[in-house]
Each structure stands twice: as structure tokens, then as C-alpha cells.
Amino acid sequence: MHATLSVLLTQGGGHEAGGGGAFEPFFPGLVILLPLLGFVINGVLALQHARASANAVRAGGELELDGPRGRPSTHTLPSFVGPGVILLAFLLVLVNFTRMLGVELHEPVVVHYWTWMATSTFSVGAALQLDGLSMVMAMVVTGVSFLIHVFSVGYMKADPGYPRYFAYLNLFVFFMLLLVLGSSYALMFVGWEGVGLCSYLLIGFWFSDREKADAGKKAFIVNRIGDFGFLVAMFMLFVTFGTLDFAAIAHDAPGKLIYGGGLVTAITLFFFLGATGKSAQIPLYIWLPDAMAGPTPVSALIHAATMVTAGVYLVARSSVLFALSPVGSATVATVGVLTALLAATIALKQNDIKKVLAYSTVSQLGYMFVGVGVGAYAAGIFHLMTHAFFKALLFLGSGAVIHAMHEALHHTHSHADAQDMRNMGGLKRFMPITWVVMWIATLAIAGIWPFAGFFSKDEIIWQIAAFGGAEHAPFPGLYTLIWVLALVTAMLTAFYMTRLMVMTFHGTNRTGSHEAQHLHEVPPVMWVPLAVLAVLSVFGGWVNVPVALQESFLGGMGALPMSDWLHHFLEPVTATAHEIQVANLGEVSHHAPLGGGEVAWALISTILALGIVLASARVVGGWKVKPAAEDAAPTGFAKVLYNKWYVDEIYDAVVVQPLLRVSRFCWKIVDAGIIDGTVNGVGYLARGFGWLGSLFQTGTVNTYAFILTLGVLVILGAVIF
């Protein structure tokens, strides 16, 4: 252990093969260890708090609030340790990132610490891989995490489980960093499972409520189905390559796998199954809307910015494999766009503000998968990054709204739902900062120039056209359809987000006159992170603007500080995949299916989006929305959308009930009947033998004399014969 610590605390050892200057990693092991340390410290505090509470209850009293500001003493340190370790981790990543900026990395840098598993045929090392992709992901994860941690300090202030919350959150960041920085599929899987675990712990954070605990269970179980896919793919990879290291596989894949062959298609499909579980795509997206039962910052971090993007990262990391399998990639793109469309339709009719955002997340994840499915890995990661910014902002903003609504409703002891948009309205008067930043995020997600979402979403839509229309593109008709559906979904996105904003912040206030007196803006510890995210949502997209757009009107004719730096930064990672694409697909198209070039369609989409936003604002503003208690239930097609296309009910009937029946059979008949019966039967048999033996004990002298004589006969016989 000492040796390990000393290795981890030194500047990264291990081999580097960078060209054009050397990239020296700066304590990469600490990046991962710091959140783990935070988990340990917060965990100890949580246990102390639990013990103190239990003792207080046993003594018949209440827990002493002997810390500052009227809170228990165990609740002061997590406020600093929780965000603090993440800030330190972010700074370390930043140093590494800046070091990498100046260097042209052709090969990833692998920092090897120790060998985790080693058999004669297989070995996995505890090693971290530092290249463009992992750096970008690490920056996003640590940066957004830090902001969300700071927000949580304010949001979870009054919660009794405060240290436990930060412990779980830090543990989650640890696993997520392991996921994105790991150098092999095995390490990635450790992180994969770990974030699933933390997701369960955090969704079911208020586990005394049965529904919330069930939501946590649902997330974990559905994730597990995906994990099966991941595992099978890993097994197949091991059989083919003999190793699970990213570098080795990326290097050997073009040689060992046939383009479009059955093996590589199977591998990619199984990996995608895992991704659908973790990243909430069809058919395993059902857990994400239920996951809104957890605290809102959790929804922001895990289910918007980081965990759910693990699937996209997986596909991007396995870019070589997906490039070798057109069927696999097409599946990814198709499922992605279908999910995007389905989720957008459901979001149209939801009334819970978090549910709308949840389905919006599912929809945007679909976009990311479309991006990496058509082969535009950089575009997919770019959208991942911008989505992290504005979706985290949206969730945190909704958290601020819910926080304010809770306080207001608490004052009058009303039982109205604080998350139902029908109970809100006109909040812009009370929460101006939140109103402004959320509008920024909405414009970003709707894809309006010059906000971040415009560039990323647009890039993806354009790449669908580019790759789908390539010279030898497989399934060109399919890609045209995907392109159309992506555009339609973008329009829907603009509409439902505007609906959310108008119902929440505009119009007349429906909370009630008594409650409205207590509505106010959230404290700075909560709105400062929102502001930071808002800035990122505005300018975050300016790091990956294609040259064509830069020079056009949309780029200010080159006057604005935009660049396509991200694309170049990720190039080494996707280079092999790109080569395969160029070799097999030929040249990409420069025209969309309906005609027109990149700039033209960028202009069209942003104008359309802006138009829809303005129109929806008008239309929704004209609706007479009633508070939730008085509102009528939806009917007709609206009812289908409101009930999420009854997918959960279908799953229940087709999958869950038969499984329960089989389990009941196994329990009642196989386990209790056959197995227990056999074991009990042996017991009865033993008793039976005992009963037989007892027949000899009659107690009468004659019997004993008889037996005695028999014995004598036996001995006599033995002697004589």
C-alpha cells in the first residue's frame, strides 16, 4: 500500500509516446483519489451523525443542534470537504489539460500504477489513460460537479442526511472519473458499475418514502440489464484481442476485425445495449423519469451532465469498433433519433417541471447517440459538453424554483405539489436571476444562435446529412429519415421548453396569494453556480465552430472569437475510425438531402427554432392554466402522451409479471416443495429409523431374555463353525 501511495503521489510514471513535445501528466492518480478521500471523510461524518441521532432517539429526545447556525455539528465540515475535493480535482485536471494543449498527442499517454489482475493469459492494469477525449470528459465532469456541489450546499442545507449526501456525491465523482480516465474496458466497467451504484444510492436518498426507494431500485435493475450487454461485449473483445486495453484494441482492431463482419457487429450491438441502459435510450430509458425522485442537484449531476453520458463516452471511446460496423453504427443512430422523438413527444404533456427536463435529457441523449452513430464522434462529444452546461443549468434552476416553492408552501402548510408547473406562474417577479439564467439555458437547448446548443445540435444534424449522403454510404434512405426526424425533434424541443418557461415564470401566479408572499430568490450560494453555467451556456459552443460557419455571417465573418479547436483536440482519438470511414464510405456529402449546404441549413434551423420559441410563447401565454388541484385529466391523444405511451405498463405486463410468475413457481414448487421436501424427508427418515429402533425397548424381561439367548446362539454358532 505504501508503494502504491508513493507511486500515486509522484508525477505520473508510465510510458509516453507523445510527438512534438512531451506531455508530462501531473498527478493524475490524485484526481481520482481526492473525491474518494472526500467520500471517506463525509462518510465518517455521516456515520457519526447517524449514531448521534440514534442515541438521541433512544434517550427519548431530539438530536442536539450544537453546530453553527443551528445545525448538527457533523454538518459543517461536509460543506467544505464536499465541494473542496472536487475543486482540487478540477484544478489538477486543468493543469493536465493545459499541459496537453501545447502538445500534439498522437498516442494516448497511459500512466500505469500497478497490475490489478494477472493470469497467464489475461492481465488488467490499474492504469489511467490521458488523451484528448478523457481530458475533455474529466474537465466537464469535475467542473460541472464542482458547481453542483456548491449549489447543493445551499439546496440540501436543512436535510438531516447532509453529510451522507456529500459522501455519496463524492463517491459518484470518484467512480465517474475512473470511468472516463480508465485505460481499459475493465476499469471503465468498474466505474460503470460504481456510478450505477451511486445513482441508486442517490435516487433513493430519501429512502423512507417507499416510492423514492422503488425509483432507486428501478434504476439499478434496469441498468443491470444494460450491464449484461457490456459484459458480453467485453468477453467477446477479450476472446478476439486477448486484452481489454483501449490502446491495444484500437491499434489491433482494423487488422483483426472485418469491416461489417458479424463479430464486430455483435460486439458493437452488445456495447450499445449497455449504453441504452446507462444512457437511457430505447428500450431501457424507463428509469430516468422515475429517477427524478432524488434531490434535484442529483438529477442535475447524474442524470443530465455526467452519468448518463457514459454511454456516449463508451461509443466514442470504441469509435474504431463502431466505424468497422455499419450495422452497429446505424443501429445506434436509429435508436438515438427514435428515442429523441419519443421523449420529446412525452415531454409535451408533462406537468412536473422535473419530468419535462428528464424527458428532455433522454431526448438530447438521443441526439448525442445520433452524432456518434453517424460517425461524427467529435460532434457527439461536443453536444455532450454543451448539454452538460445547459441541462445542469436547467435542472439547478428548476431546483431553485422548487426550493422557493417548497419554502412558500411550507409557510402555509399547503399540500400542493411544489414541482407541478400548474401551481407556478409569474415567478419572474420573485426570482429574476433564476428567470434570466433559465431563459439562457432554454435558448441554448432550443438551438438558437449564438448560444451553445445551436452549434452542437447543428453540427450533429449537419453530420447526419454529410455521412448519410457520402459516396458509398450504407442505408442512405435511413439516414435521410434520421435527418428529418432530428429536425422535427429540434422543433419539438423548442416548443416544450418554451412551454416550460412560460408556465413557470410568466403569466399570473397560481401558487396562491398567501403563499406568494413568501416566494423569493435563492441565496447566492445557489445562484452563483447558475450564473457560471449560464456564461458557459452562452460561450461554451464557441470552441467547436466549423470553419465554414466561422467565416459566414453566423461567425461574425471571423470577427467573433470562435474556433474549431475541439475537433482538432479530439482528432488523435478518432483518427483510426476516421481513416476507416474515409476508406469505406468515400467522401462525405456537402449537401443536405433537401439541398443546401452547411451554412444554409444552420441559418434555416436557427431561424425556425427562434420562430417556434416566439410563437409558442404567444400560444402558451394565451392558455388558461389552472392550478393542479383544479385541473382536469387529459383525454384522447394527450392522455397517451401524458401516460408516457404506456411503456411502463407494457413492460410490466410483458416482462415483469411473467418473471414474477416464474419466480413464484421456483419458490413454491421447486424451493419449498422439492428441495425443502427432500431435506425434511431425510429428517423424517432418520426419525423413522429411530422409531424402528425403539420397538426393541419393550421393557419386559422376556424380550431381553430372548435377545440374550439369540446372542448366545450367535456366539455359539461362531465358535462351532
Task: Give the range of 263-271, 542-550, 654-662, 697-705 binding another protein by CB under 8 A.
Answer: 697-705
Examine residue 720 and tell whether it contacts another protein (CB under 8 A). Answer: yes
Scan for cell 447558475, then name that residue. 530
Task: Give the range of 132-140, 163-171, 644-652, 708-716 binding another protein by CB under 8 A.
Answer: 708-716
CA distance 509 to 436: 18
- Exactly one of 9, 101, 638, 710 binds another protein (CB under 8 A); that residue is 710
Contact mark string toward another protein, 635..674, x via CB under 8 A: ----------------------------------------
Task: Give the range of 451-459, 587-595, 601-609, 690-698 binding another protein by CB under 8 A.
Answer: 690-698
Distance of closest approach, residue 698 Cβ to another protein, in angstroms: 6
Q: Looking at beta carbons only, is 15 or 691 nearer to another protein?
A: 691
Scan for cell 437511457, then name that residue. 280
Examine residue 706 and tell whether it contacts another protein (CB under 8 A). Answer: yes
Run of H or E residues at 136: helix 132-155
* Range 343-370 burial, b when 16+ CB lie within 10 A, else e: bbbbbebbbbbbbbbbbbbbbbbbbbbb
Q: Name which of 296, 279, 132 is nearest 195 in CA terms.
A: 279
DSSP annotation string for 294-332:
S-HHHHHIIIIISGGGHHHHHHHHTHHHHHT-HHHHHHH
Examine residue 102 and tell whether it contacts another protein (CB under 8 A). Answer: no
Task: Give the range of 318-326, 459-467, 543-551, 696-704 binding another protein by CB under 8 A.
Answer: 696-704
Examine residue 239 and tell whether it contacts another protein (CB under 8 A). Answer: no
Q: Is 119 left (phi over 0), alpha (psi -120 to 50) or beta?
A: beta
Examine residue 689 and tell whether it contacts another protein (CB under 8 A). Answer: no
Count the residues of the shown chain that bind another protein, applying the rule CB under 8 A: 16
Handedness of CA 49, 52, 56, 57 (dihedral sign): positive
Q: Which residues pair with 110 in a beta bridge?
A: 129
Phi, psi (deg, nearest 5) at residue 567: -60, -45
Examine residue 121 and tell whether it contacts another protein (CB under 8 A). Answer: no
Q: Looking at beta carbons only, is 629 or 686 nearer to another protein?
A: 686
Handedness of CA 655, 313, 107, 458 (dihedral sign): positive
**What is each CA distance from 331 to 166, 335, 646, in whole angstroms?**
38, 6, 24
Contact criterion met (CB below 8 Å) for 431 and 477: no
Distance of closest approach, residue 54 Cβ to another protein, in angstroms: 54
Query: Interface residues for another protein in 438-457 (CB under 8 A)?
Result: none
Distance of closest approach, residue 686 Cβ to another protein, in angstroms: 17
Examine residue 717 and tell whether it contacts another protein (CB under 8 A). Answer: yes
Task: Give the range of 51-59, 99-107, 563-571, 709-717 binding another protein by CB under 8 A.
Answer: 709-717
Examine residue 10 and tell whether it contacts another protein (CB under 8 A). Answer: no
Task: Give the range of 243-251, 377-385, 550-558, 695-703 binding another protein by CB under 8 A.
Answer: 695-703
* C-alpha cell recorded at residue 165: 449526501
Examine residue 692 and tell whether it contacts another protein (CB under 8 A). Answer: no
Distance of closest approach, residue 707 Cβ to another protein, in angstroms: 10
CA distance 321 to 316: 10
Task: Give the range of 31-39, 48-56, 637-645, 691-699 binding another protein by CB under 8 A.
Answer: 691-699
Q: Name which of 297, 292, 296 is nearest 83 in CA terms.
A: 297
Q: Looking at beta carbons only, is 682 or 715 nearer to another protein?
A: 715
- Exactly one of 117, 655, 670, 716 binds another protein (CB under 8 A); that residue is 716
Examine residue 686 and tell whether it contacts another protein (CB under 8 A). Answer: no
Q: Where are the alpha helices (DSSP H) in 652-700?
A: 657-665, 676-694
CA atoms within 13 Å, Cβ hemisphere of 10: 11
Using CB under 8 A, list all residues that contact another protein: 694, 697-702, 705-706, 709-710, 712-713, 716-717, 720
